[in-house]
Amino acid sequence: MGDHIVEYGKIFYYKDEILKSNSGSSCVVKVGEEDETGQIFFEGFYVCFNTLNKAFFGGVRRLIGFDWRFLKGVCKGLLLVAVCRDGNNQMLPIAWADVEVENQFTWTWFLKLVKNDLDLGEGRQLSIITDMQKNWIVT
């Protein structure tokens, strides 16, 4: 296994490569403020590929499921994901994000990015499924 510190140092390079090789896609890197040593800290990495975005408008059910899973291994964190079902009843990942922690701020950040990428507006004619028992208000 490689050096995770070196790999996280390349995260902006990964973002640039995704955007260069997948025209129209969305990729956002969220980093924290610099500390007293001048280091910036990773907070989140979001991806929504243009082809998946187009597929969302090309005949999928107007139903989005949001969920999360723990990331295990050297680099702990969470994977936030937005999925839907296509016309063949197959799961279609729309967007995902790797974040450090699950909290209101990371979910709000993720939901706003999904909302903007899918141009959901007020969310009319759209249903959302989640296992969370909290109120979500994303403007």
What is the domain partition of the chain in residue ranges?
4-130
Q: What is the pLDDT of residue 33?
A: 79
Q: Which residues contact 54 (CB under 8 A, 6 or more apart)?
A: none
Is the pLDDT at 132 greater than 70? The verdict is: no
Q: What is the pLDDT of residue 129?
A: 81
pLDDT tens string 75-111: 778 999 999 888 788 888 999 999 988 888 899 999 9
Average pLDDT of every residue of the chain: 83
Structure pTM? Answer: 0.83
Cα gap 98→101, rounded to integer Å: 9
